Structure formats: structure tokens, C-alpha cells
Amino acid sequence: MPAFTFEKISPPIRRGPIPLIARKQRGVIVLILDRFVEARVKRSRRDKEGLTARRQEKPAD
């Protein structure tokens, strides 16, 4: 015969809506990285449109 018995504990009943979670302010480093990414995306779009002249690679002999 077991010495201990375990009771099933039911989860607490939620009463009312869940409170909104405040968003944390993004760090300065993340903001700087976002600026770099935006600049790179703009540059890659411009390159695809052919607005930037690049040096042509020499054909392999």
C-alpha cells in the first residue's frame, strides 16, 4: 500500500480578459542595424533596376 497519495491540482480559473503586455523599447543597436538593413535593401533594389554601373568581369579563357 503506498505511503503517499497525489491529488490532481486543477489550473486556476481565469477571471476577465488577459491584461495587455507592454512592448519593450528596442535597443539602440537594433535600431542601427535596422537602418543598415534598410539601406542595403534600397541599394539592392537600385542595382536590380540597372541604375548602378559596375565593372564587368573578364570572361574566363
Model confidence pTM above 0.85:
no
Q: Residues 3-21: pLDDT tens digits?
A: 777 788 888 887 788 777 7
Angle at 47 between CA 43 and CA 53, to 5 degrees: 115
Alpha-carbon gap, residue 34 to 40, rounded angstroms: 10
Confidence of residue 42 (pLDDT cuts 50, 70, 90): confident
First to last CA, the chain: 88
Residue 41 has pLDDT above 70, yes or no: yes
Query: Tell me, what's the pLDDT at 49?
Result: 66
